[in-house]
Amino acid sequence: MAYDLEEQEQLDSIKAWWAKYGNLVTWLVIIALAAYAGWTGWNTWQGRQAGQASVLYEEQQKALAGKDNAKVQRAAGDIQDKFGGTAYAEMSALVAAKSAFDANDGETAKKQLQWVIDNGRGKEYKAIAAVRLAGVLLDAKAYDEALKVLSGDYPAQFAGAIADRKGDVLLAQGKRDDARAAYKLALEKTEAKDPGRQLIQIKLDAIGGEAPKA
């Protein structure tokens, strides 16, 4: 096929450009395709992981209903080991902590709750674990440890629960003024419709406090 002079100049220009940049463009396209394939594969893998984890979580729930603490703990361990990147790992650890606590196994309860704080990806789960762990430590009279756990960076919606638990710990330490301040903060940060608000008010009244002014 014959080309006129202008067309030939355009072809020569394209060939020269490709000779200089062709390999780079090819690699960029390959990288982009690989990234897309990787992302698609990651989502597929994540979905498969969550599906498999959900099966173990259901088994754990059945074990919890049957008060089989040993089986509950095994299921939690399996989920954490194999599917630690899913939300089921955090959920199962919280379930395992409750089961252990009910079975008077405080050490295992602490271990499960600490796992959520250290390895959990959801800040909400971490906050729940922190409040519960502080409660376990409070029962064990490990007051300084409990306050340290509560000093972490947690979502704003948990400010009331965190302050309430701090009040419990401070009161157990005999620090009534600090406990009173914590309970007042808890009331300020807790919504009026929250059923836990009444209990906070009762605790505040018991140490000579008062509700915050509106």
Residue pLDDT, tens place only, 155-208? 999 999 999 999 999 999 999 999 999 999 999 999 988 888 899 999 999 988
CA distance 38 to 113: 33
84 vs 48, which has greater pLDDT? Answer: 84
Four-way CATH pick for 122-214: 1.10.260, 1.10.287, 3.30.70, 1.25.40? 1.25.40
Q: Are 170 and 178 in contact (CB under 8 A)?
A: yes
pTM above 0.85, yes or no: no
- Residue 196: per-residue pLDDT: 87
Angle, alpha carbons 50-53-55 (nearest 5°): 115
CA distance 4 to 83: 65
Q: What is the DSSP string of 65-105?
A: HTT-HHHHHHHHHHHHHHHTTSHHHHHHHHHHHHHHHHTT-
pLDDT band at 87 (very low <50, low <70, confident <90, very high): confident
Mean pLDDT of 29-50: 49
Q: Are 125 and 90 in contact (CB under 8 A)?
A: yes
